[in-house]
Amino acid sequence: MGKAKNGAQKVGLMQRLEKDAAICAEGYLFECERRGYLQAGAFVPEVVLDHPEVVTELHREFVHAGSDIVEAFTYYGHREKLRIIGKEHLLEPLNRNALEIAKKVADDSGTLLAGNLSNTNLYVPGDEQSRKDVRRIFDEQIAWAMEYGVDLFVAETFSYGEEALISLEAMRASGVPTVVTLSIHQEPKTRDGWSLGEAMKRFEAAGADVVGVNCARGPNTMLPLLKEIRDAVSCQVAALPVPYRTTPEQPTMQSLKDPASNIRPFPTALDPYVCTRYELGDFTRAAHDMGVRYLGVCCGAGPHHIRAVAEALGRKPEASKYSPDMSKHAFMGTDPTLKPSNREFAERL
Ligand SMILES: [Zn+2]
């Protein structure tokens, strides 16, 4: 367990969850892409080497907005992803830089440092060699993360339950809490055909501390999945949707269709579908009421979404100092010193 800046022992993940909740900001890939520091497609976080200051600042913004956890930006920074862009020689420096950057922010802010694993895209059901290749990827990323004293591991966006189980087996040796989340695509089951409840039970039995879902689905289509998950396990449950207005017919950000054009909105034209901060606040309250304690937002998340998650949990992160107060707005405000002629004009704006 790491130490906070003042030298005090940090409150660990499991204690935070038992007491109340834990917030984890995700979505670094999309936000760095939007800012012009990461290429959509391969989605490899070379930004941790090319522009570490951008990643540092984004970590700080998410903490300022209420994130309890700083996730080292090693998502899609694994061997297979570096192979596809022809830069395997950068594998270790990329992982180390990401961990170094995140550790500094976590130590400065007293938040928790998370190591991060993701789907490898190498797993093939029934293929023994693919299991070995996947395991090697996890083992090497875990070994680097352990050198930086991570407080927990997050293994995320798995489509295959089996691949998530391989990550759990690899993480278990670390001795730190483990969070495992699936991405649920259009069909509400894993790619190996397990029901959600069955998958979560298997993860819990394999030693996961927190199980759940992240990415792919927006609040509207993730919320209906949560009861089955909560009912299936006795461990803590995680839910981190993408902030997009998905629907029962188009339940994932990848399946959204723009009726006005033939362009698939995913991943770079999703802007018209972005949820408001209030929608993320509503999701957070509803999920928390169902007993889901590990909360956050994935791809597409901005700090305003994370602040809304924090405020929905009754918190006041530093960013709440700047939460909206429309009472002083020149036209829409209610302050009695405002010019009545402007307030009367409000409806004509
Ligand atoms: Zn995501």
Least confident of 8-12, 208-212, 307-311: 8-12
Asked whether residue 333 falls in the same domain as residue 261, the answer is no
In a domain, 4, yes or no: no
Asked whether residue 162 falls in the same domain as residue 199, the answer is yes
CB atoms within 10 A of CB 11: 16
The rounded Å distance from CA 299 to ligand 1 centre is 4
Predicted structure pTM score: 0.96
Report how far residue 349's alpha carbon sits from residue 344's, in angstroms, rounded to the nearest whole number. Answer: 10
Report how far residue 91's alpha carbon sits from residue 45's, in angstroms, rounded to the nearest whole number. Answer: 11
Report whether pLDDT(7) > 90: no
The rounded Å distance from CA 161 to ligand 1 centre is 17
Give the Cα-Cα-Cα angle 143, 56, 245 (nearest 5 degrees).
95
The rounded Å distance from CA 284 to ligand 1 centre is 17
The rounded Å distance from CA 144 to ligand 1 centre is 23
Mean pLDDT, the chain, rounded, equals 96
The rounded Å distance from CA 309 to ligand 1 centre is 16
The rounded Å distance from CA 242 to ligand 1 centre is 6
In a domain, 6, yes or no: no
Asked whether residue 338 falls in the same domain as residue 248, the answer is no
In the DSSP assignment, the letter for residue 52 is H
In a domain, 2, yes or no: no
The reported pLDDT for the residue numbered 9 is: 77
Report whether pLDDT(6) > 80: no
Q: How confident is the model at residue 2 (pLDDT cuts 50, 70, 90)?
A: low
Coil/strand/helix, residue 179:
strand
The rounded Å distance from CA 8 to ligand 1 centre is 33
Residues, CB-to-ion distance under 5 Å, ligand 1: 215, 298-299
Domain that holds residue 343: 325-349
Note the pLDDT tens digit of each residue in 30-88: 999 999 999 999 999 999 999 999 999 999 999 999 999 999 999 999 999 999 999 99
The rounded Å distance from CA 30 to ligand 1 centre is 8
In the DSSP assignment, the letter for residue 111 is P
Asked whether residue 204 falls in the same domain as residue 335, the answer is no
Q: How confident is the model at residue 259 (pLDDT cuts 50, 70, 90)?
A: confident
Q: What's the structural domain count of the chain? A: 2
In a domain, 1, yes or no: no
Share of the chain above pLDDT 70, in %: 98
The rounded Å distance from CA 328 to ligand 1 centre is 37
